[in-house]
Structure 1
Amino acid sequence: MFRYSNYFLLCGTALAMTLSVFTATSVAAPITKGAVHKHASHPKAGTTVKKPVLSPVQHNRKAMQSSQPETIMVRQTRNVFGQAARQKQGVSVTHIDAADLARHQVTDVKGLMNLAPNLTVQPQGASSSVNFTLRGVGLNDFTSNNTPSVMTYVDGVALPIGYMAGAAMFDMAGVDVTNGPSGYTHGQTVTAGEINVQTADPTKALHYGASEDIATYNRSITNLYVSGPITSNVQYRIAGFTQQGGGFQKNINTGQTLGNANKGGLRAKVAWQPDDKTNIVFSGNWMQDNSQATGVYNIQDLSRNTPAYSNNRDTSWGFRPEFLKLSGNEGQTKPSYNNTFWGAGVNITRNLGFANLTTISAFQQMYVHNLMDLDGTRYAIYDVDVNTNANMFSQEVKLASRNSQSRLQWTVGMYYDRTQMRSSIFNDYSQSGSRPYVQRTSYNQDQQAFSQYGHLRFALTKRLHLQAALTHESDDRTLYNMRTMRYNTPAYPTPFDNRYGRHGALTNQFSGMGGIEYQAFNNLMFYGSIRKGFKPGGFTANNTVVDSQLNPTKPESLLAYEIGFKSDYMHHKLRINGDAFWYDYHNQQMVGLAVIPRYGVVGQYVNIPKSRIWGVEMEIDANPIAGLVLHQHIGYERGNYKDFNAIDSTAVALAYIKTGVLSAQYKNFNNVDMGIPKLTLEGSASYKVKLGETWGLTPYVDYSYRGSQLNIPGNNLYRLPAYFLLDAGLTFAPKSGKWSVSAYANNLLNRHYDITRDTGLNGIFGVPGTPRMVGGRLKVDF
């Protein structure tokens, strides 16, 4: 209980503040008879308030009182923080609005990492795929063919493939990051949480706008949109973006730059209301990414003994012509992406009177081609080409109660998805010494999932609410046509062409939750919940040389205990929310290591029988004076393995250096720290200064801090050092808000930091974070 003492102290402080505010408002100054006070429900400026019709007796009484003095006081309270409804819900959610996304130049989900507590978003190596960890729960899915622990939704559509989730974000309405096991009211059940991305919808009035963002390293980001009515019951919205430049890495041998973006996309939505009870939204999207790939820097190279790079922004690459021809990359001279994404969907909402019926149908297609140099040297030690063709179809049907005043609120629904994937992976090891050949691994994977869910919320009293939910999900996936072959070289004339049998993984699991919400005062709510989540098993589908590598992992499950409070003070000028959580984690899926004699160390998904995570989170928003907005997020978490024996990569490396022979070396990691960042901080301050009656000037400062992180236990070379980032900017805009001009500097202190570290071939590589970026942005909205 000691570890929660600070949390309970904060709860007590929140209660004391509420009591003081309650007392202060109760003992108000005497009010003149007939005075009217209005707080939560007050007329907006310019609103006509209808007077009630009076009976003759009431009319005479009114006339008798007309000579008495009457004072009418109308207090208007504006909530600058928004999300008032969320303050009445017992769940931990971080909301990031469109303005914050634009201010931080968030163009994909990796930009969210420093905007929410205890959230980690990392690229998978140097590829365009991404991995998520939330509150220490996540999977480093280097083959991108497994269900993520954190599910990404775009306009209500789940994207279970890392490449799809990592595609561009533009024309945004906002993002919600939901912590803990989820999937009780929609979509799929997962263990860690959700990232819900909402794009802007069509409008009934004509609006159009554009923005241009230009920064150092020749980076430019262009956005535009137009939205409005076609007829009285049909609206449209078309939005597009392009991003160019921004490459900051340099080849340590030649001085060439790397990392320039070259991508763009379009999205269209059409909303149709055939009657006053139905809304149908048709949507389509397309995105093309021909950017240069991210480079890696060498941390350890046991193949050629290349010295570790002292500057993490240095890189190197070198592809053999034979490898480029074999992998379909003739003419390429740098690591690169060639990705195409497109999709379409229909979202139908129908008012049935007693409930709302919602159906969401979606299809997404991707063609991914990533050429990467994962050794960060000019040698062909670990050069990789990934070619993946995948599509996904999903269908959801949901029924939810409509009467918000009813004591019983309910939601029931069903969700189905089907994915088909075909992938081939080329690895050029020919100059590594230990593997003098090019290897190709190819496979097909089919997956389908069917889930059912039900959620209830019952008002036991006016202030006390109970919640309960139950879900069931069946996940069936099959890996087939798995083949690994090696292309002969003068140093490796031995034929190698292995074909592997069909492998399947079937999961049927129930999960659920129970919760309580207590509205102690109108401005203070306490809540608690117990939630059970699970994630299906999957396959390791890369670099397969022995059949045992294809054994599926077991499903993982998470039992989450959480308590928290949400509060607003000083007429919504101060918001303080906090929570504490305790996770019992079973069969945690993670990337471990396997040692294959005469071959090397390979990644292998493993299950950790038991581990434990706990932590606290705090959100503080303040608007102490007009124009000044302060924001602070705090996340602290700890995790320990409770039953885990694994390959000790340090011991393996030392044994290889000493003997020249690869052999498995194990270590017991019971009670060892899981390596998740212990402390994450994110804060901002902005102050809008009025310049006369027409103009406004808003300076702002943002900062973030992330504690050190160790993804693979046993070797400190994998540790990402802690780092602190500071951003600053200035925005000038007219009162109308129709245009604005901004200047900014991100990573003002030009910190060198890593966003991921990973296993190479007999080595370790890192991927650097973005350096100082100084730029300006012009935005117009009409």
Structure 2
Amino acid sequence: MTAPVAAPVAATARDTHTHRPRTAPPVPPRKHARATTAAAPESVEVTARRRDFSYAEAQHTPDASTRVTAERLTERGVVTLRGLERIAPNLTIQSINGTASNNFYLRGVGFNDFTQNNMNPVLTYFDDVPFIYSAMADGMMFDLAGATVTPGPVGTTHGLSDTGGEVLLRTADPTEDWHFGAKQDIASYARSRSEAYVSGPLAQGLTFRLAGQTQHGGGWQTDPLNGAHLGDADLWALRGKLQYKPDDRTTLTLSGHFTQDDSQVVAAVPIHRLIGTQALPDLAPQQAEWDLRPQFAKLIGRSASLKPGEHNQFWGADIHFSHDFGPATLTSISAYNVGRRAEYTDQDATALAQADAYRTIVSNVFTQELRLSSSHPSDRLQWTVGAIYERSRMNQNFYFDYTDYLPARGYLASSTFGLNQESTSEFGNISYRLPHNITIWAGLLHQLDDRNITGLRSVIYGGSTLNFHGESTAANQFADQAGISWQMTKNAMLYYKMSKGFKAGGFSANTTQVQGQLDPFRPETVLTYELGFKSDPIPNSLRINGAAFYNDYHNQQILGTDLIAGYGPVSEITNAPKSESWGFEGTIEVRPVERLFVTQNLGWQRGTFQNFPTVNRAATNAYYAAHGVWKAINDNFSGVDMGQPKLTLNGSAEWRQPVAQRYSLDFGPDWLYRGSQAMTPGGTGFYRLPPYFLLGAHVSFRPASSHWQATIYAQNILNRHYFESGGQATTVYMYIPGTPRFIGGRISCDF
């Protein structure tokens, strides 16, 4: 799948050559490929050239990746990771309780990491640096050069192994000439987003780039009890790059970034009372209730006026080094990232103190990758070998206010633990171009992973203190990939590949009451079969790409339920011994007439558990409601749908009208549809998130030079009331509502 808006040639070169191959070796590029690569320093010119069909070289790469330019990200309002689901098929990204942490589902592969201490099956990368914990990407989505979403198992050519795929984000590089720019976006609910950058030379071979952003306002929720306002952003971030090129074969880049996020979060709304007899609040759209008791505020050391929100600080630095030795290119990527988080969420979604939660997380991640690759894309033989070391450390403190959760609890509680993790991976990939434009390839990955949880203590203030001994888990696994591609014609390619993915196990550390809750969940593996094609039947007028897939799971990691006697059901990440999923995705880009450009992404998927014995949470809650006694209702969800949205659609249409020969007026709609989603295995009724459809539109005015642009836009123009995610903390089932209609204006300049 490809992006509908043009990128500079350099963006194509970086994605298909510098870091080739993402999922498989490309068919060797045409004769102009070397010149394309040489244009890489001009990658900052993301708005100066607009071609309808971007990433032309990627059409010869056998993968199902969605490649998106910086311009398209801006047009679709993608300013956070969650926004990427607007431009890629079969992708769902959901906030954890409205916070900056996200759960990813790509082709249905993913899981709900409510404990926020595990690696996601879909990894996020910034400039080839893996962000093990997705929250560390908070505030980083600015001054981008483009994005790539790759589904399916990865890891045989770079980075870390996982089972679902990866989101690869490119930030803009320093330039050899002076450039600067700024962007101001103002919208409904006093929302303001500002960006600026400056880039240029410092000395011979030495260039720099400095960029920053701020976000303020935009809160659209109110509390009907007191009229309090909620949801305002309060974020600022900086990124700096220093690049040194002593010759045309060597590049050294030093990058650093810092984010301070004190934004309020979106509060959940209660959908159904599971425990107790208190009436749920009657809330209108854009209303929510929350509360913070002074005693709880004192315990966590925050002001009694605190609203649900973040108090996060992220920073990091990385060093990229590459040198072309002639027959091979050496690449080294060293990175260190730190996160300090504090977030308050009201997880009973009412003014009662039945599940008010406050979490602090201190974490750091170090990664070191070395990669040696063949240097000449035109050679028949292409190869990559490398290794990556990754180490992370985390400490969490998790506080709950259960004061109004009577008669079951009625107390303040906390859990504290540490997490240590370390992994080493070696990988290799080789491809060979046979006669008749046929290419075969194979890749192999080996990974060692060790992790342990330490010092876990659960405290009931004024009551008991429970101390638990540490647990550990280790994995020693292989993953691999093999495939074949055929460039049938100049503008049509067919490929088939098989990929085995591996993801290490971990722990569900959350309100722990018994030692058994710390039993680690096992690693998961998935064997994926994929058949795809890429075609430009009418070059520069029609592009059709598609892929079909089948996933064979073993020990799929999934959010399940455990029942603690006298305490109630608690969520835990567990394993479904056997499951499967299948589906397809496609992209159509078409220019039916000279001034109209339309793109449509489509994703469809199904999945079922073949063997998954666990506690049936819905039935267990129903039994308690009827009898007032907790009894585990066990079930095997064999044959039950896995619950991921079956159909996802997103796309846009744009009419480009010349005005007075020197200007253009671009306007059109965009749309997004996501099917219903079961939030618990076998979930029906309120346990299934309703489907939704969103419509947006924009009008942009720009000169031919594209040095500046003015845009008026609308998001959720129909003002649909919808929900992005949902879940259960204790007494109620709750949904996280999506944003209402936003109407705004944006002006930007680049010189």
TM-score w.r.t. length of structure 2? 0.92
Q: Which residue of 1 aligns with 2:71?
A: 99
Q: Which residue of 1 aligns with 2:533?
A: 565
Structure 1: runs of 5+ lacking an equivalent: 1-38, 45-77, 489-494
CA shift at 1:462, angstroms? 4.2
Q: Which residue of 2 aligns with 1:188?
A: 160
Q: Which residue of 1 aligns with 2:84?
A: 112
CA shift at 1:713, angstroms? 2.1
Name the SS of the counterpart of 2:59 in structure 1: helix
Q: 249, 253, 264: which one pairs with 2:236? A: 264
Q: Does 1:326 align with 2:326?
A: no
Name the SS of the counterpart of 1:688 in structure 2: strand
- 1:568-583 equivalence runs, <5 A: 568-583=536-551
- 1:55-454 equivalence runs, <5 A: 80-301=52-273, 302-307=275-280, 309=282, 311=284, 313-433=286-406, 434-454=408-428
Whether the aligned pair in 1 keeps the contact of 2:188 and 2:742 (CA below 8 Å) is yes
CA shift at 1:398, angstroms? 0.2
Which amino acid letter does the alignment assign opposite residue 172 of structure 2? A
- The one-character-per-residue Cα deviations of 1:305-333 (angstroms, maximum 9, x if unpaired) are 33264545321111111111111213433
Q: Does 1:726 align with 2:695?
A: yes
Whether the aligned pair in 2 keeps the contact of 1:601 and 1:762 (CA below 8 Å) is no
- 1:627-642 equivalence runs, <5 A: 627-642=595-610
- The one-character-per-residue Cα deviations of 1:407-455 (angstroms, maximum 9, x if unpaired) are 1100000001100001100011111112111111000011011000000
Q: Which residue of 1 aligns with 2:485?
A: 517
Structure 2: runs of 5+ lacking an equivalent: 1-29, 36-49
When residues 636 and 251 of structure 1 are mapped into structure 2, their CA distance, relative to the original with a 3 A threshold, is: same
d(CA) in 1 for partners of 2:144, 2:291: 38
Which amino acid letter does the alignment assign opposite residue 542 of structure 2? L
CA shift at 1:406, angstroms? 1.2
Q: Which residue of 2 aligns with 1:599?
A: 567
**CA RMSD, Structure 1 to Structure 2 (Å):** 1.6
CA shift at 1:253, angstroms? 1.8
d(CA) in 1 for partners of 2:51, 2:626: 66
Name the SS of the counterpart of 1:127 in structure 2: coil
- The one-character-per-residue Cα deviations of 1:106-125 (angstroms, maximum 9, x if unpaired) are 22101112211110100112
Q: Which residue of 1 aligns with 2:442?
A: 468
CA shift at 1:80, angstroms? 2.5
Which amino acid letter does the alignment assign opposite residue 340 of structure 2? Y
- The one-character-per-residue Cα deviations of 1:493-530 (angstroms, maximum 9, x if unpaired) are xx311111111010110010100000111111000000
When residues 41 and 410 of structure 1 are mapped into structure 2, their CA distance, relative to the original with a 3 A threshold, is: closer
Which amino acid letter does the alignment assign opposite residue 233 of structure 1? G
Q: 712, 717, 725: which one pairs with 1:748? A: 717
Which amino acid letter does the alignment assign opposite residue 718 of structure 1? Y
Whether the aligned pair in 2 keeps the contact of 1:437 and 1:486 (CA below 8 Å) is yes
Name the SS of the counterpart of 1:322 in structure 2: helix
d(CA) in 2 for partners of 1:97, 1:432: 50
Q: 761, 764, 781: which one pairs with 2:733? A: 764
Which amino acid letter does the alignment assign opposite residue 658 of structure 2? K
Q: Which residue of 1 aligns with 2:656?
A: 688
Q: Which one is further off, 693-702 or 310-319? A: 310-319
Name the SS of the counterpart of 1:654 in structure 2: helix
CA shift at 1:232, angstroms? 2.4
Q: Which residue of 1 aligns with 2:456?
A: 482
CA shift at 1:665, angstroms? 1.0
Q: 671, 694, 700: which one pairs with 2:668? A: 700
CA shift at 1:589, angstroms? 0.5
d(CA) in 1 for partners of 2:578, 2:220: 42
Q: 504, 520, 524: which one pairs with 1:552? A: 520
Whether the aligned pair in 2 keeps the contact of 1:110 and 1:166 (CA below 8 Å) is no
Which amino acid letter does the alignment assign opposite residue 214 of structure 1? I
d(CA) in 1 for partners of 2:93, 2:673: 14
Q: 490, 495, 498: which one pairs with 1:530? A: 498
- The one-character-per-residue Cα deviations of 1:55-95 (angstroms, maximum 9, x if unpaired) are xxxxxxxxxxxxxxxxxxxxxxx962111121111111001
Q: Which one is further off, 459-468 or 552-561? A: 459-468
d(CA) in 2 for partners of 1:327, 1:611: 42
Q: Which residue of 1 aligns with 2:3?
A: none
When residues 720 and 222 of structure 1 are mapped into structure 2, their CA distance, relative to the original with a 3 A threshold, is: same
d(CA) in 2 for partners of 1:255, 1:168: 33
- The one-character-per-residue Cα deviations of 1:12-62 (angstroms, maximum 9, x if unpaired) are xxxxxxxxxxxxxxxxxxxxxxxxxxx9979x9xxxxxxxxxxxxxxxxxx
Name the SS of the counterpart of 1:99 in structure 2: helix
CA shift at 1:304, angstroms? 4.6
Q: 456, 462, 475: which one pairs with 2:430? A: 456
Whether the aligned pair in 2 keeps the contact of 1:537 and 1:554 (CA below 8 Å) is yes
Whether the aligned pair in 2 keeps the contact of 1:171 and 1:239 (CA below 8 Å) is yes
d(CA) in 2 for partners of 1:687, 1:127: 37
State percent identity of aligned pairs.
40
d(CA) in 1 for partners of 2:676, 2:372: 44
- The one-character-per-residue Cα deviations of 1:566-587 (angstroms, maximum 9, x if unpaired) are 0012233211001100110110
Which amino acid letter does the alignment assign opposite residue 720 of structure 1? L
d(CA) in 2 for partners of 1:314, 1:649: 28
Q: 593, 598, 603: which one pairs with 1:625? A: 593
Whether the aligned pair in 2 keeps the contact of 1:252 and 1:315 (CA below 8 Å) is yes
d(CA) in 2 for partners of 1:571, 1:381: 60
Name the SS of the counterpart of 1:548 in structure 2: helix
Which amino acid letter does the alignment assign opposite residue 206 of structure 1? W
CA shift at 1:610, angstroms? 0.7
Whether the aligned pair in 2 keeps the contact of 1:298 and 1:309 (CA below 8 Å) is no
CA shift at 1:732, angstroms? 0.5
Q: Which residue of 2 aligns with 1:48?
A: none
